[in-house]
């Protein structure tokens, strides 16, 4: 049976390991961290079939340029000289057309629906014991008519595709979320969505994989990859070297850097997000996106999480105080009686999301290197798409018919 190395221990890498070990493969996961932090731990925990519009959409670049010099804005691009970023931006611009978005919508919906079912299957299997997984849906809460009209366009597309959507006025919003005051006109309720607690699931998934015989190498950085006869022959790390029949590149925002070592151009940029956890009862029971604040609110098992912002400033873990405060202020704007403490703000964490230029992930075999498969570039949907990506990777490894058409995710696609 094939020996497979997965580079990257986030939700995508661990989900890939989960489905591969089920098929009987020998699996090793290598991660440069201790797998207790990063995007898979600080995200909003959403399972989002409703997020059918890719980030690369009409008007996004103009919005980004407008916000470029406001470092507290929801979509912030740090001005810098970076050739890779310029190229990525040009591809992003080319992808931001109405026609490209229409092509992407059904593909994004299908992979999200696939993943939602797989999370439910994992829970039903009992492999990880009990973990938080709810299907209450997601509220898109709005204050202005402009936000409502924008979201209604998305809601109509989602409804047309068969997703369950409802429109809530102010009193209906108060009925569905009775225990906290909300300053808003109403909400669109995507009943098709679900939510989880990532900080609970990740350790359980990791523990299960180890018990199932998956080798997990933490605090071990991949430094170089050697190629011979069109295949990766050796992986050199900070601790030694490895060989494998197949390599899965699931290194999130670092995937582009590792691809360069293989002379593969993988357009990818790190989009930094932030989170604040509030471990007190707040009366918030529904996962919500506060539209004008461009931020997410998720009631998780041990706290309520406020998360958001997309910051393109390269790969770094610098926490910009003004961006954290923008999240706290955005929450206060919608929940006027909410007080997030200075301690909670000071405990903010960050994570890097890997963003492709067209908002679709890279899932599939490399056209340049025979034993390399990509599983990265999921942008803000990494958590939502983890299991689907893992399942697709296991099908690719077994040369099986994939659960859905993955041609739109081709790593070598033209932008």
Please state the domain extents for the chain: 3-409
Question: What pLDDT sits at residue 6?
Answer: 98
Average pLDDT, the chain: 94
Residues 295 and 308: beta-carbon distance below 8 Å = yes
Tokens of 165: 């959507």
- Mean pLDDT along residues 45-68: 78
Separation CA 90–CA 153 (nearest Å): 27
Q: What percent of the chain has pLDDT over 90?
A: 85
- Whole-structure pTM value: 0.95
Tokens of 157: 């597309």
- Mean pLDDT along residues 117-130: 97
Start-to-end Cα distance in the chain: 37
Higher pLDDT, 116 or 82: 116
The burial class, CB within 10 Å (0-12 / 13-18 / 19+), for 129 is exposed
Separation CA 345–CA 54 (nearest Å): 30
pLDDT in tens, 265-302: 999 999 999 999 999 999 999 999 999 999 999 999 99
Residues 54 and 104: beta-carbon distance below 8 Å = yes
DSSP one-letter string for 261-276? HTT-----EEEEEEEE
- Mean pLDDT along residues 364-392: 97
Q: What percent of the chain has pLDDT over 70?
A: 97
Residues 382 and 118: beta-carbon distance below 8 Å = no
The 3-state DSSP class for residue 378 equals: strand
Class of domain 3-409: alpha beta
Convert 125-191 into a string of H (helix), E (strand) and C (coil): HCCCCCCCEECCCEEEEECCHHHHHHHHHHHHHHHHCCCCEEEEEHHHHHHHCCCCCCCCCEEEEEC
- Mean pLDDT along residues 103-113: 94
Question: What pLDDT sits at residue 81?
Answer: 86
Separation CA 259–CA 266 (nearest Å): 6
Question: What pLDDT sits at residue 68?
Answer: 62
- Kindly tell me if the per-residue pLDDT of 73 is higher than 90: no
């Amino acid at each position: 049976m094939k020996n497979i190395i997965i580079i990257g221990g986030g939700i995508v890498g661990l989900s890939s390991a989960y489905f591969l070990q089920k098929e009987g493969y020998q699996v090793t996961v290598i991660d440069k961290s201790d797998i207790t932090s990063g995007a898979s731990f600080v995200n909003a925990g959403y399972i989002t079939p409703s997020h059918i519009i890719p980030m690369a959409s009409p008007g996004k670049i103009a919005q980004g340029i407008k916000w470029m010099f406001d470092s507290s804005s929801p979509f912030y691009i740090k001005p810098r000289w970076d050739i890779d970023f310029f190229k990525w931006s040009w591809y992003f611009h080319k992808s931001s057309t109405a026609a490209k978005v229409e092509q992407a919508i059904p593909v994004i919906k299908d992979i999200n629906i696939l993943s939602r079912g797989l999370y439910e299957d994992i829970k039903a299997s009992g492999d990880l014991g009990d973990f938080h997984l709810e299907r209450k849906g997601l509220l898109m809460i709005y204050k202005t008519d402009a936000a409502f009209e924008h979201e209604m366009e998305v809601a109509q597309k989602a409804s047309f595709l068969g997703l369950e959507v409802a429109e809530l006025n102010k009193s209906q919003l108060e009925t569905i979320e009775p225990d906290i005051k909300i300053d808003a006109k109403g909400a669109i309720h995507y009943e098709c969505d679900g939510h989880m607690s990532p900080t609970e699931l990740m350790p359980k998934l990791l523990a299960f994989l180890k018990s199932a015989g998956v080798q997990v190498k933490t605090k071990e950085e991949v430094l170089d990859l050697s190629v011979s006869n069109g295949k990766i022959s050796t992986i050199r790390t900070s601790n030694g070297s490895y060989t494998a029949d197949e390599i899965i590149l699931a290194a999130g925002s670092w995937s582009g850097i590792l691809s360069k070592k293989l002379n593969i151009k993988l357009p990818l940029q790190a989009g930094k997000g932030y989170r604040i956890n509030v471990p007190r009862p707040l009366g918030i029971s529904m996962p919500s996106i506060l539209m004008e604040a461009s931020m997410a609110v998720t009631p998780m098992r041990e706290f309520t999480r406020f998360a958001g912002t997309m910051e393109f400033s390269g790969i770094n873990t610098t926490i910009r105080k003004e961006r954290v405060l923008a999240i706290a202020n955005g929450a206060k704007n919608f929940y006027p009686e909410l007080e997030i403490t200075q301690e909670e703000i000071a405990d903010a964490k960050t994570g890097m999301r890997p963003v492709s230029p067209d908002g679709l992930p890279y899932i599939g075999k490399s056209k340049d290197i025979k034993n390399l498969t990509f599983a990265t570039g999921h942008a803000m949907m990494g958590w939502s798409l983890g299991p689907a990506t893992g399942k697709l990777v296991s099908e690719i490894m077994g040369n099986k018919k994939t659960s859905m058409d993955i041609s739109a995710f081709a790593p070598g696609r033209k932008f």
